[in-house]
Amino acid sequence: MECEAFYVFWAEIGRRMNMRDIPQSREEMIEWSRDYEVKNMIPAETNKEVAEYTMAELLSAVPTRFGLRSFAVTRVALCLLEDRVRVGMMQPAQPWFFHALTHGVMAMNWTAQRWFLLPRIYPSFPVKIDLPKATGERCPKLHPNKWQYRPWYRPESTGLGYLQNKFLVAIGWYSEMPGPHLKSSGYRLEEMGPFKFENSAHEEVMQKAAELQGCPVAGPWSLEGRCGEEPSP
């Protein structure tokens, strides 16, 4: 059921983005995807370059001490790739025992989560979905619930929170302390993208957002809310 819901969710997003010829079922989508891979996924130096940059970004938080990052890149991460993807990205094959180790650990994790963990008490979202209170604050902003190696949009902490962040930077979990250079004040929908376009085309961005979700963006995340005003009905 979760797989079917996943397909329905992304297929609807595709339709709202005016994509055409989206397969009508999850099974058809899987078949189309595999057929496309067989015809188009071939080894190329550009694929290899993209793979190396992607691996470096995904594993940037893994410490380099004791060869941990090298082990993760050359062994574990590559074992998680399908063979067709690995060949297309010109990455080396891994010994069978590394595959066995990787899939064994994944199976243990799957078993523990399915059979030994209680259901979530609260939903998990990338950002806080609770709307801020209407205080008239000018330009309220969003913060993610999780942060990458470079802690973009992470609020600056004080007291014990500051010491915790210093510790996480010291062990290599984060690259640096949060600050204004990493937009610690947060972000808004209309400001997303390259810095040079941060203050451009806000009306067009919100119009596209309204088309995607099927209704205007309202409340504190609207352009009126940006100014601390209540949007007109």
Residue 73 domain-assigned (yes or no): yes
Residue 221 tokens read as 């995340």
Q: How far apart are CA 176 and CA 173, in angstroms?
A: 9
Task: Count the domains in the chain.
Answer: 2
Residue count of the chain: 233
Q: Could you read off the pLDDT of 54-71 as tens digits, one per residue? A: 888 888 877 777 777 777
- Give the residue from 45, 74, 99 where a domain finishes: 99
Residue 88 domain-assigned (yes or no): yes
Q: Could you read off the pLDDT of 194-209 as tens digits, one per residue? A: 888 988 999 999 998 9
Q: How far apart are CA 147 and CA 60, in angstroms?
A: 12
Residue 214 domain-assigned (yes or no): no
Q: Could you read off the pLDDT of 127-171 as tens digits, one per residue? A: 777 766 655 556 788 888 888 888 999 999 989 999 999 998 888
Residue 93 domain-assigned (yes or no): yes
Residue 187 domain-assigned (yes or no): no
Q: What is the pLDDT of residue 72?
A: 72
Contact 202, 190 (CB under 8 A): yes
Q: Could you read off the pLDDT of 170-192 as tens digits, one per residue? A: 887 888 999 999 999 889 889 88
Residue 83 domain-assigned (yes or no): yes
* DSSP category for residue 81: S
115: number of Cβ within 10 Å: 7
Query: Letter for the amino acid at 178?
Result: P
Residue 224 tokens read as 């009126």
- Give the residue from 99, 125, 146 where a domain finishes: 99
With cut-offs at 50, 70 and 90, classify the pLDDT of residue 228: low
Residue 1 domain-assigned (yes or no): yes
Q: What is the pTM of this model?
A: 0.69
Tell me which residue range forms the domain holding 95. Answer: 60-99
Q: How far apart are CA 42 and CA 56, in angstroms?
A: 22
Handedness of CA 175, 176, 181, 187 (dihedral sign): positive
Average pLDDT, the chain: 86
Residue 55 domain-assigned (yes or no): no
